[in-house]
Structure 1
Amino acid sequence: MYKRKLFYFGLTTAFFLFLALLSTAISSHLTRENLLQSNIAHSLLVEHEKLSSISYRLFKQLTDEIIFGQNANQAYVRKKQNLIQQSLNQIKKLEIEQRKALGISFTKGSIEDTDELVRMIDEITIEFRAVVSSGNKAPLNQQAQLKRLLEVTIDDQFREAINSAVARQTRVVTAINAKMDMLNTTILWFAIGLGALSIPLILYGCYWLFNQLYQPLILIANATNSIALGHYQKPISVKLDDEFEELATSINQLALRLQEHENNAIQSRKQLEQEVKQRTSELTEANLLLTKIDSRRRQFIADVSHELRTPLTIIRGEAQVTLRMQSVSVDDFNQTLTSILGQAVGLSRLVDDLLLLTRAEMNQIGLEVLPTQIMPLIRTEVAKWQKLNLSRSIACVTHSDLDDLVVTIDTQRIQQVLAILFDNAIKYSKSDQPIDISLHKTESLITITIKDHGEGISAAEVDNIFERFVRFSKHSEGLGLGLPIAKAIIEAHDGSISVISTQGQGSVFSISLPLGHV
């Protein structure tokens, strides 16, 4: 219903606006046409006056030729004739435009009179040439032909023709100005009448529309204030127009939903408090873990400092002792240099391990991968560690169909991983206990397992075994970098490493690598 009221109001306003725009467009078009006609008429008037002035100057110079000789003012005469021709061409052009704009009845005789002026100027020029060519020696005031030319043709006929053209253009200008004044007066009174009719109607329509809109807005404002104060029980109960009725229904539904949300918010707040309490507990545990990690980091720094200090102290001591000796044999020098070299190699290995872990954190481990048969590689490592530990049984259990199995790996890095796992298995098991190596294949992975029968690893140590600087509590050798290095190398191959251990029964380390084909 309110939409229909708005439609009627808009239609009435649009009608008056259309009338105003239409009258403006018509008045602008008529004004532009009148201004164009006025400009043409003024230009014609100016050109006629200009033609009159140039023509009389031409006649004077032709008269001077009679007095002073035929060649007295030839250049000036030609110049004036050119100017007259230009002025006549412009007059003809403007008269044609004026006739197209105003019609033949309004401009009757203008083009014909111009043709007569052209003919008259040409005749006057020819008569002047005839007088000059006649060679009459009589006084000028006694030459009948010259006297008739000056007094009759120029003073009477030409002057009357040019004055008639100027007077005609003056009348045209006056008529156009009067037409423009009448048009402006008509537009003014039309605008006054349109304003006097439309303004009261529009003001009344605005007042009526405001009254129709004010009551629903007051009801809606009161309803929203009630909702803001927490009163949600049907804040709008009065029947409104169809458009406002939909809004009132929406506001009532909003109030009910707000009440539901408020009830849910109370429940959510309680649940949130419980979750915050739980998260606080988790953060406390995480903080303790970070404290533990920081403690390990500090211990690592201390261990690294100790590991670095020991070889550096030995290197410095060996060098100082050798330098203090009064006489040093070649054997002494060799012994000193051998000791220094051994310590330097150990330092280099420690730095390489730290650098490898740093690159692993930055995903910048450089691998030189090639398709490689895995079984010869494993057998070579087994033979090497068996040779170093003759009293221990190191057995490799596999199937013959895996002898030609190919994986794409960095051979030296995988050898480094196997060496770390073999060394740990030997280190953390007794010398008479065996070590078993086996190889298993699936569709996309190859798994290498290394099993020892040592003391095993506690559950607490298993969780942290692949972290840096972690060392088993019963052993103090090493810096705890071997297994983290092994994990970094395997993960750089897109593989994984895991451990299963039971205290008193030993440990099983498993390496899984993606298969590669030649």
Structure 2
Amino acid sequence: MRYRTKLLIAACLLLAMSLSAAAFSYWGVAQSHRYLIRSRIAHEQLERQLQLSRHSQQLFKAWTDTLLTGLSDRPLGEAYLKKVIESDMSALEELSRRELAIVGPEERKAEMAEVHRLAAIRKEYQIVLDQLAEVDQLRSRGRPDIAWQNLVELLRGGLDRELNELIEVAVADETAEVLRIDAAATQLLTRLERISTIHAALAVLITLGLAIVLIRGLRAPLAALLHGTRKLAEGDLSYRIAVSGKDEFAELARSFNNMAGDLQDHQKALQDARDNLESIVEERTEELRQANESLRKIDETRRAFFADISHELRTPLTVIRGEGEIALRGRNKRVAEYKHSIERVVEQAKHLSVLVGDLLFIARQGAGAAKLKIRPVDLTQLVGSVVGDAKIMAMNKDVGVAFAEDTPHQTIDGDPARLRQLLLILLDNAVRYSRAGGQVNVGLSRRNGTVTIEIADTGVGIPQEDLENVFERFRRAGNAAEVNDEGLGLGLPVAKAIVEAHHGKIELQSKAGEGTTVLVSVPEQAEGSQA
């Protein structure tokens, strides 16, 4: 049961007890007031009945004295007593009406009997008055003897006996009623006192019971929550409160457990993040170290590059300058000598132009700005044409170059001039670093929209430690210079730049002394190339 429901039940019980106490108090006050009014009326009726009895006796005595003595000017004369008796009877009638208005149905019959008896008293009283009036008339007419005789007969016959009997009955009844009402009022007070005591005891017991139930319902879950809070404050995030029931404290315990679980997860996440951060810092530190090492190598490469490029540029420039100076030296030279010097200048200028063009292409490709003239290229025909050129170069070294003539035609989107340059670079390297009697095999295949060119030689190969650096500018494998001292180390970097400009990939597979295989894969359709 939810604690809110328990509180509501307790409040309802206390409210019911309060309302019952208020209702009982109101009923007790009303009953007490009713009995008080009835007691007052009964006492007033009894008093009036006694006064009526006394006044009626005084009235009859006054009449008798008047008839006997003939004097009528006494303080308690007939006229005064008649008014007093009339007042008594009117008061009794008014009290009877008031009593009828407040009694219940079971008492109304007895009260109606009192009303009838009061009417009988009034009637009997009037009869006695009439009889006395007749005697008084005889006396006033001058016939006192007859009046006296009639009075004696009336007295012998019991003039006011029936009236006195009625009044005595009324007094007895009123006396009994006063006693009965007082007894009922006393009984009511006793009952009210008993009921009040029982009600108060029940109220105390119920209040204590509710307090015990509510305190027990509060103490255990609050103690568990306080203990859990202390555990959480001490850093024990694995502590969980035992959950039982479906009340508010159970929901609070579940919320506490969820909060502790979230805190534990957050702490674990923070610890993992801290560990991960430390790992990342270590990785970044290692990366920075490697980057610094790479920058150092790049700086060394840059310096070597500038030294090499300076050396490579100096040679053709020196030749051009020397040939120009030779041409200008002396005045009487043959045309053949001038022509030879100019041809040397042009040859070195072409070499210089090719060198600068390759460097610019590599730099532009590195910046993603290499420009290609894309159009459909019959790659099979192009490979066959370049293989033919390579055979001519290989004749002096006794190296065979083979390409299957029945190779299916493969067409791609590319720059034919750059692709020719790529094939010439790769075949020139394959022939140049092959020993006499060696063999260069060229293959062409297509798979999943990609055309692959394979060039395999049986040359000196590339040491494993140099494979990662062969695509750097002006870098040559350690054994390359031993076999052939020509070359600038720009061939493979240019080849890689051409392949990447066509959104392809170039790979080298080589072992020192066993030969090298170059795999070039380019897509059939150009993707994002700039025409």
- TM-score by length of structure 1 reads 0.50
1:347 corresponds to: 352
**Residue 400 of structure 1 corresponds to which residue in structure 2?**
406
In structure 2, C-alpha distance between the alignment counterparts of 1:511 and 1:435, rounded to whole Å: 16
Displacement of 1:305: 1.0
Q: Which has the larger radius of gyration?
A: 2
Mean Cα deviation higher: 485-494 or 439-448: 439-448
- Mean Cα displacement is larger for which, 366-375 or 303-312? 366-375
Q: Does 1:466 align with 2:466?
A: no
347 and 2 in structure 1: CA distance in 2 versus 1, 3 angstrom threshold: farther
Structure 1 stretches lacking a partner, 5+ long: 5-219
Tell me the percent identity: 38
The equivalent of 1:306 in structure 2 is 311
Instruction: Tell me the equivalent position of 1:106.
Output: none
Question: Contact between 1:315 and 1:339, CA under 8 Å: does it hold in 2?
Answer: yes
Query: In the TM superposition, what is the alpha-carbon distance from 1:420 to its structure 2 partner?
Result: 0.2
1:105-154 alpha-carbon deviations (Å, 9 max, x no partner): xxxxxxxxxxxxxxxxxxxxxxxxxxxxxxxxxxxxxxxxxxxxxxxxxx
Q: Which residue of the other structure, out of 489, 492, 502, is the alignment partner of 2:501?
A: 492
Q: Structure 1 residues 321 and 456 mapped into 2: Cα distance closer, same or farther (>3 Å)? A: same
Distance in 2 (CA, whole Å) between partners of 1:250 and 1:440 is 66
Q: Offset at 1:309?
A: 1.7
CA pair 496-253 structure 1, distance change in 2 beyond 3 A = closer
Contact 1:382 1:394 (8 Å CA) reproduced: no
Partners of 2:510 and 2:283 in 1: CA distance: 32
Rounded to whole Å, the distance in 2 between the matches of 1:438 and 1:231 is 70
- Mapped pair 1:511 → 2:504: no
CA shift for structure 1 position 421: 0.4
Equivalent position amino acid for 1:499 in 2: L
Q: Secondary structure at the match of 2:373?
A: coil
Aligned partners of 2:232 and 2:239 also within 8 Å:
no
> Which AA in structure 2 matches 1:503?
A
1:463-489 CA-partner distances (Å, limit 9, x unpaired): 222233321223153332211211221
2:520 and 2:361 map into 1 onto residues whose CA distance is 19
| Contact 2:400/2:437 (8 A) holds in 1 | no
Question: Aligned partner of 2:401: which letter?
Answer: A
Give 1:406's aligned amino acid. T
Amino acid at match of 1:462: L
**Whole-angstrom CA distance in 1 between matches of 2:316 and 2:375:** 37
Partner of 1:477: 486
Aligned pairs (5 A) from 1:214-293: 230=235, 250-251=255-256, 253-255=258-260, 257-258=262-263, 261-262=266-267, 265=270, 269=274, 273=278, 276-277=281-282, 279-293=284-298
CA contact (8 A) 2:238 2:260 kept: yes
Q: Does the Cα contact within 8 Å between 1:407 and 1:514 map onto a contact in 2?
A: yes
Deviation per CA, 1:411-438, whole angstroms, max 9, x where unpaired?
Answer: 1111100100011112212233121112
> Matched residues in 2 for 1:275 and 1:368: separation?
44
> Which residue of structure 1 aligns with residue 375 of structure 2?
370
The one-letter amino acid paired with 1:445 is T
| 1:10-21 superposed matches below 5 A | none
State whether residues 384 and 403 of structure 2, in contact with CA within 8 Å, keep that contact through their aligned partners in structure 1: no
Aligned length: 309
CA displacement, residues 191-213 of structure 1 (integer Å, 9 cap, x when unaligned): xxxxxxxxxxxxxxxxxxxxxxx
For residue 395 of structure 1, what is the amino acid of its counterpart?
A: V
Q: SS at 1:472's partner residue?
A: coil
Name the aligned partner's letter for residue 398 of structure 1.
A
Which 10-residue stretch deviates more, 441-450 or 508-517?
508-517
Secondary structure of the residue aligned to 1:437 is strand
**Distance in 2, Cα, partners of 1:338 & 1:379:** 32
What is the CA–CA distance in structure 1 between the aligned matches of 2:375 and 2:430, rounded to whole Å?
28
Change (3 A) 1:415 1:401: closer
Preserved contact between residue 379 and residue 396 of structure 1 (Cα < 8 Å): no
TM-score (norm 2): 0.49
Check the 8 A contact 1:300/1:479 in 2, yes or no.
no
* Structure 1 match to 2:149: none
Compared CA separation, residues 502 and 322, structure 1 to 2 (3 A): same
For the Cα contact (< 8 Å) 2:399–2:435, is it kept in 1? Answer: no
Q: Relative to 1, partners in 2 of residues 1:250 and 1:453: Cα closer, same or farther, differing over 3 Å?
A: same
Amino acid at match of 1:492: A
Displacement of 1:354 in angstroms is 1.0
* Structure 1 residues 401 and 272: CA distance shift in structure 2, 3 A: closer
For structure 2, list consecutive stretches of 5 or more residues without a partner in the other structure. Answer: 6-224, 527-531
Residues 265/425 of structure 1: CA separation in 2 closer, same or farther (3 Å cut)? same
On the 8 A contact 1:406/1:516 being kept in 2, the answer is no
Deviation string, structure 1 residues 258-282 (Cα, Å, up to 9, x no partner): 3565467557645654564455345
Q: 1:331 to 1:460 in 2, by over 3 A?
A: same
Q: 1: distance between equivalents of 2:471 and 2:343? A: 34
Provide closer, same or farther for how the CA distance between residues 253 and 434 of structure 1 changes in structure 2, counting only shifts above 3 A. Answer: closer
Q: Please identify, of 244-253 and 424-433, the stretch whose mean Cα deviation from structure 2 is larger.
A: 244-253
Match of 2:424 among 414, 419, 422: 419
Are the structure 2 counterparts of residues 303 and 435 from structure 1 closer, same or farther at C-alpha, using a change threshold of 3 Å?
same
Q: Residue 407 of structure 1 aligns to which amino acid in structure 2? A: I
2:399, 2:431 within 8 Å by CA — same for their partners in 1?
Answer: no
Contact 2:506 2:518 in 1 (8 A): yes
Alignment of 1:194-233 (within 5 A): 230=235
Alignment correspondent of 2:36: none
